[in-house]
Amino acid sequence: EDQVTQSPEALRLQEGESSSLNCSYTVSGLRGLFWYRQDPGKGPEFLFTLYSAGEEKEKERLKATLTKKESFLHITAPKPEDSATYLCAEAGQAGTALIFGKGTTLSVSS
Amino acid sequence: NAGVTQTPKFRILKIGQSMTLQCAQDMNHNYMYWYRQDPGMGLKLIYYSVGAGITDKGEVPNGYNVSRSTTEDFPLRLELAAPSQTSVYFCASRGIGQGTSEAFFGQGTRLTVV
């Protein structure tokens, strides 16, 4: 059974303090690794898709990277508005189901 | 485009009652999904569909049923509601072969079973 594990469960940062979130997956033959942001009371909002080891994508203060068994979401100089739960998901061997990790709840204080 | 629309937004059910959560998408996506989200547990896949007439079980299908008679609609049926089905339910759609193939989510249905 495919599994997605995210760490840490919660992360508290000061504004400007850079850090990374981890997402590890067990599926062989990855058909896509997805990062989402979720604000309280809202549905997840898409951030990035990664398909192959070595791939990187950036958006403002966020950069997602992918290795053969892990993905990292690097947050550079975060701001309070970056506070949210960050979810990762993999598309499974068949590329049909989307299996999510439990998420990392990020709190950034000023 | 409205994207993915879920109704209702909130619902309280009594134990043993049944209900249908509605989900519609207007992006002509072939894949659709139902998830439940409990505090601290991420999103658990209930059922998914790769096209009209085709559905498959996810991680936690017990107590739920789905159908996919059209590309646009993917209703989730709860029969004999139980307190364990108290959760927030999200529907999502995904267009394979249309760019990055990310999933788009609705705003959720908060269900309480008492």
B46-71, pLDDT tens digit by residue? Answer: 999 999 999 999 999 999 999 999 99
Domain boundaries, chain A: 4-103
CB contact under 8 A, A42 and B107: yes
| Percent over 70 (pLDDT), chain B | 96
How distant is the Cα of B35 from the closest Cα of chain A, in angstroms? 10
Any idea of the CA torsion for A47, A3, B101, A19, to the nearest 10 degrees?
Answer: 20
Domain that holds residue B108: 4-113
Contact B22, B11 (CB under 8 A): no
Q: What is the pLDDT of residue A63?
A: 98
What CATH number does the domain containing B55 carry?
Answer: 2.60.40.10
* Nearest residue in chain A measured CA to CA from B43: A100
* Nearest residue in chain B measured CA to CA from A35: B102
CB contact under 8 A, B102 and A49: yes
Residue B1 in this model has a pLDDT that exceeds 90: no
Task: Give me the CATH topology for the region A4-103.
Answer: Immunoglobulin-like (2.60.40)
- Mean pLDDT across chain B: 93
Q: What is the pLDDT of residue B99?
A: 47
Q: What is the pLDDT of residue A31?
A: 82
CB contact under 8 A, A102 and B41: yes
pLDDT in tens, B27-36: 999 999 999 9
How distant is the Cα of A79 from the closest Cα of chain B, in angstroms? 23
Q: For residue B27, what are the β-bridge partners?
A: none
**DSSP-assigned states of every residue in B18-83:** -EEEEEEESS--SEEEEEEE-TTS-EEEEEEEEETTEEEE-S--TTEEE--SSSSB--EEE-S--G
What is the count of structural domains for chain B? 1
Of A43, A95, A98, the CB nearest to B106: A43
CB contact under 8 A, B48 and A97: yes
Of A43, A91, A103, the CB nearest to B90: A43
Reduce the DSSP state of residue B85 to 3 states and report it: helix
Does the bond joining B8 to the residue before it have cis omega, within 30 degrees of 0? yes
How distant is the Cα of B107 from the closest Cα of chain A, in angstroms? 5
Q: Which of B100, B98, B95, B111 is nearest to B35 (CA)?
A: B111
Contacts of B21 in chain A (CB under 8 A): none
